[in-house]
Amino acid sequence: MRANDIANMGFAEAADCPVLLVGDIDKGGVFAQLVGTLELITESERARTKGFVINRFRGDIALLKPGLDWLAERTDKAVAGVLPYLHGLVIDAEDSVGTSGTNEPDALNVIVPVLPRISNHNDFDPLRLHPGVNLQFIGPDQRIPPADLILLPGSKSTRHDLQWLRSQGWPEAIQKHLRYGGKVLGICGGFQMMGRSVSDPDGLEGDAGTTPGLGLLNMTTRMVAGKTLKDVSGELTLGSGRPGFTGYEMHNGISCGPALERPMATLNGQPEGAVSEDGQIIGTYVHGIFDQPEATREILEWAGLGAQHQAVDYKAHRLEQLDRLADLVEECLDTGFLKHLLGLNRRH
């Protein structure tokens, strides 16, 4: 794994910046985590690792002090501090898929397949906090339960994950879901999967070739060189409200076909996404739509949720949670040491 690591130590090596190792004591074995990691990395990586942070500690920190002293002596590295366990903290996950939801009897049941190469699953974090939504992530070999809404997430390899969906019985489950009046929303790679085919002639996401899509929308997608990366803003066109939203696009591929003549939104006046002729299926390339409460309300009402439920302003919630974490970092870590690592104590 280290050979292909560009997000963690690989980035630090490329940028020539200092590193702090953070250990999760809530899972146990934190000293083994930190010392073992230090032993496994290269000499260059050990040299740039300047210290440690212990995260998610519960209890009396005085009881931990002998262990901290041993860690500093054993490794000749500083312990920058210990962060207590923050109850109720909800921030964007990087790689892990969060699970949450309500068990209210009138909740909207929403399910998401956990694709092997799922991406941008934090698109759905606002739904985890919504009081009217029961959000479930369905992993490999799990039973696919009845639902009101199926969300098809983004993917780092659309054709590969399409094949996985077939192996898990999702196409048949989706067709049954639609026969019973359910709704389906695809985002980015999930949107591409809903067409008639996905082709990758140059092998940009794996082996070159073409994979049949789910056939839910009359369109095709072709992977092309040059990834689309841009911030966007627009309006939903599902109902009469036309709520505004902001988000971003991050994808390979260009989709075309008659389905795009019935857009789900407009971006700067231009059509975006698609709506099926019967109105049960929608798709978009835009990530982050659920961050806006008005847009979330419009989509969930389309999916069958009553208007009495108030959506969460996830942008405000995110800032509030990050402020909680920042205050704790300032209180519990050696900020003088951190400023020294960042070169902020240097005189100009």
Report the b/e string of 305-318 with b at 16+ CB within 10 A.
beeebebbbbeebb
How far, in whole angstroms, is CA 263 from its chain's centroid? 25
For residues 20 and 104, what is the distance between their CA atoms, to the nearest angstrom?
Answer: 43
User: What is the model's pTM?
Assistant: 0.78
Among 130, 177, 188, 309, which one carries the catalytic annotation? 188
For residues 230 and 342, what is the distance between their CA atoms, to the nearest angstrom?
Answer: 30
Among 130, 251, 287, 309, which one carries the catalytic annotation? 287
Which residue type does 46 have? R
Residue 277's SS3 state is coil
Tell me the pLDDT of the chain (348 aa) as tens digits: 666 676 788 889 889 999 999 999 998 999 999 999 999 999 999 999 999 999 999 989 999 999 999 999 999 999 999 999 998 887 776 555 655 555 566 889 999 999 999 999 889 999 988 999 999 999 999 999 999 999 999 999 999 999 999 999 999 999 999 999 999 999 999 999 999 999 999 999 989 999 999 999 999 999 999 889 999 999 999 987 899 999 999 999 999 999 999 999 999 889 999 999 999 999 999 999 999 999 999 999 999 998 767 777 878 888 888 999 999 999 999 999 999 999 887 544
Other CB atoms closer than 10 Å to residue 191's CB: what's the count? 28
How crowded is the C-beta side of 73, counted as CA atoms within 13 Å?
A: 6
- Residue-wise pLDDT for 90-136, tens only, equals 777 655 565 555 556 688 999 999 999 999 988 999 998 899 999 99
Q: Which two three-digit tokens encode residue 25?
A: 């004591």
β-bridge mates for residue 222, sequence order: 199, 254
Provide the angle, in degrees to the nearest 10, between the axes of the packed helices 158-167 and 170-179.
80
Q: Among this protein's residues, is 287 annotated catalytic? A: yes
Please list, in sequence order, all residues whose beta carbon lies within 8 angstroms of the beta carbon of residue 39, skipping any fewer than 6 positions away.
none
DSSP letter for 291, please.
Answer: G
Is 179 within 8 Å of 143 (Cβ atoms)?
Answer: no
For residues 170 and 174, what is the distance between their CA atoms, to the nearest angstrom?
Answer: 6
Residue 175's SS3 state is helix
Is 49 within 8 Å of 38 (Cβ atoms)?
Answer: yes
